[in-house]
Structure 1
Amino acid sequence: MINMNQNAAPRIPIRVMLLISLYVVLTLIAIWRATTYQAYDLLTLGVIPVFIGLIKRAAWTKVLLISYVGLQSLGLAAMTTTAVIAYQITPDDVKLVFQGYNIPLIPLWLLLLSVVVFQWWVGLSNVTRNYLVKK
């Protein structure tokens, strides 16, 4: 007898679903940035293969995800170091202005740090490994 309460498709873990949602947003931003500013760099367009791998549940996705988050971590560390050194030299000149809006650096840094830490947490978890292995 068939149990009608069982779902045919396996459920996607919550943290993987949140990671996929994050990568949907990052992919849209990457496509917008590439088309608007002609910015074709690894940090911008590197999100697209990771997103495709997460959707397809490909075995190579874990390696690509860890590599991409590592690259993001290096970029964040470089930008943080540069900002701290620049702030030591001329504190009044260290500001981020985007389309006329002054963006506060500490909340932006905390947001970026939390996004990178979240990606490390999900990328290194057994839940993600099991999601990518099982089909």
Structure 2
Amino acid sequence: MTNMNQNTDPNMPIRVMLLISLYVVVSVIAIWRASTFQAFDLITLGVIPALIGLVKRAPWTKVLLLSYAGLQTLGFAAITTTAMIAYQITPDDVKLVFQGYNIPLFPLWLLLLSLVVFQWWVGLSSATRDYLIEK
């Protein structure tokens, strides 16, 4: 008789692989940002423990993953609300310029929203839960 609490599928789900790939990219950017600009914050550096937990299949990873996605959701909502209020006051001043390039806000907003929704989808999926159950 097999134990239902054990992960019998050793393969990593595609959605978890995509999330790990995303977290590797964000971790590299976070480390670069921290070393270059001495900017340390929970939203960028918080990805490193989540990445380690996903790779090690640690039992605490699910809680950390959902907490990290929740923190990002709160930050995203705060920045979006602030930008909408600023746009109501002075629409000409609400723009994002990075190294001389004007970044359009609506596509950036859609990209960030899709990344946050993707993290929630992976974090709440049963495939991720099954993957994180230790063998």
TM normalised by structure 2 equals: 0.92
Distance across 1 between alignment mates of 2:13 and 2:22: 14
Residue 85 (structure 2) aligns with: 85
Q: CA deviation at 1:134?
A: 3.4
Unaligned runs of 5+ in 1: 1-8
Taking every aligned residue pair, what percent have the same amino acid on both sides? 79
Distance across 1 between alignment mates of 2:42 and 2:75: 11
Detail structure 1 runs of 4+ shifted over 3 Å in the superposition: none
Q: Which has the higher contact order (CA 8 A, sep 6+)?
A: 2
Helix, strand or coil at the partner of 1:92:
helix
Q: CA deviation at 1:100?
A: 1.0
Distance across 2 between alignment mates of 1:104 and 1:78: 19
Deviation digits for residues 10-44 of structure 1 (CA, Å, limit 9, x no counterpart): 21110111111110111111101101111111111
Residue 129 (structure 1) aligns with: 129
Residue 74 (structure 2) aligns with: 74
Helix, strand or coil at the partner of 1:59:
coil
Give the paired residue count.
127
Unaligned runs of 5+ in 2: 1-8
Distance across 2 between alignment mates of 1:23 and 1:44: 10
Helix, strand or coil at the partner of 2:102:
strand
Matches within 5 A, 1:37-116: 37-116=37-116
Deviation digits for residues 47-88 of structure 1 (CA, Å, limit 9, x no counterpart): 000000000000000000000000000000000000000000
Helix, strand or coil at the partner of 1:30:
helix
Q: CA deviation at 1:99?
A: 1.1
